[in-house]
Amino acid sequence: MSTSSADVRGYDVIIIGGGPAGLSAALILGRCRRRVLVCDSGRYRNHAAHAMHGFLSRDGIAPSELRRIGREQLQPYGVEIREAAVADVRREATRFEVTMEGGERLLCRKLLLATGLVDRLPDLPGLPAMYGKSAHHCPYCDGWEARDKAIGVYGQGCTGLSLALNMKTWSDDVILFTDGPASLSRSDAARLARHGIGVREERIARLEGRDGMLERVVLEDGSFVERRSLFLKTKQEQGADLARKLRCKITEERGVETADKHEETTCEGVFVAGDASKDVLLAIMAAAEGADAAFGVNCALQEEDLA
C-alpha cells in the first residue's frame, strides 16, 4: 500500500518516546520552532517505581509527575503529543515514514528514538511485587533508602561479585545470594570474605514480605535469612525494535550506538537518546542526552535549510 498525500503529514522531527529523554528533546526542539511530534506508547521503564531519586531539583518526585510537568512545559511551543505506539519506521528518500499502530502514516525529516529499555527480572517467586519497592537494580537510584539496612544481593559470578562489593558503599550488612553455585574464583571469594560479605549458595525458594517490603529470603531447605532490601541486575532489552528496522548499529553492551556527535546513530538522520543508547542509565542522563540530540537534530535541519 503506498502512502497517499491525504494520509501523511510532514514533521521536522518525530520523537518516539515520551520519557525524560523524549520530553527533554521536544522542549529544545519546540523552542527551535520546529514542527515536533512526540509518540508515546505509555510504557515507561520505571513504571514500578514510586519515586525517582537523584534528578537535580526533583529528587524524590513521582516519575509520572515529572512527565506531567515535562508535557505541560511543552504546551507554549506547539509540540504535538500522541498517546500511541509506533509500529514501523522506514527511510523514504530524504525523509522517514512512521507508521502508527492503527496504520496511519506520517512523514518527518529527522527521527529521534527515545524508546528506552525493558527490564527482564530473574524468575524469583515474590520478586515482581517487591520490584521498585524493596527490590532494586540501581544502587544510585535506591541505595540511599537502603542505607545501613540488611541488604541482600542476587547474582552469580562477576555480576554478583561486583554488585555485592558495590553495596558496601551503602551498608556494612551485605549478603550475596547466588541461588546455586556462586561461580566465583578463590580470590574473588576471599575478596568478599575480606569485606565481610557472606555468600549463600542454596537455591532460593521465594522472597517473603508484606506490601512489597522484603522481610526474608527463604531458601529451598526451609531456612531463611532476614533482609530488608534486595539488589539485583536485570537483563535489559531495547524498548522497541525500531532501531534494528532502520539498520542502526546495536550492541549488547552499548545499546543503539551513536556514530559521532550529538547522539546521531550510525544511520544518517536518526538520533537516539536516553536508555536506548546505554550509558549511565539515570533519568537525568536521559534528559541530558535528549537535549544533546535535539541540538544535533536542529543543526542538521539548519544545514539543509541554510545551505
Binding site for ligand FAD (CB under 6 A): 16-22, 39-46, 48-49, 52-55, 85-86, 114-116, 119, 132, 138, 141, 239-240, 274-275, 281-284, 286
Q: Which is nearer to ligand FAD, 148 or 237 (CB)?
A: 237
Nearest distance, CB of residue 236 and ligand FAD, angstroms: 9
Q: How many helices (H) and strands (E) does the chain have?
A: 8, 19
CA–CA distance, 170 with 224 (Å, rounded to integer): 23
Nearest to 179 by CA among 207, 200, 197: 200
With contact defined as beta carbons under 8 Å apart, do 207 and 196 qualify? no
Q: Which is nearer to ligand FAD, 174 or 243 (CB)?
A: 243
With contact defined as beta carbons under 8 Å apart, do 157 and 183 qualify? yes
The H or E element containing residue 213 is strand 213-219
Nearest distance, CB of residue 87 and ligand FAD, angstroms: 7
With contact defined as beta carbons under 8 Å apart, do 125 and 205 qualify? yes
Nearest distance, CB of residue 137 and ligand FAD, angstroms: 6
Nearest to 134 by CA among 42, 61, 67, 226: 226
Q: Which is nearer to ligand FAD, 101 or 172 (CB)?
A: 101
Nearest distance, CB of residue 170 and ligand FAD, angstroms: 14
Q: Residue 133 phi/psi, 5° resolution?
A: -110, -60
Q: Take residue 297 and report the three cell numbers written for it.
A: 537534530
Nearest distance, CB of residue 41 and ligand FAD, angstroms: 4
Q: Which is nearer to ligand FAD, 13 or 52 (CB)?
A: 52
Q: Which is nearer to ligand FAD, 164 or 283 (CB)?
A: 283
Nearest distance, CB of residue 272 and ligand FAD, angstroms: 9
Q: Which is nearer to ligand FAD, 48 or 219 (CB)?
A: 48
Nearest to 58 by CA among 16, 20, 115: 20
Give the three-class secondary structure for 212: coil
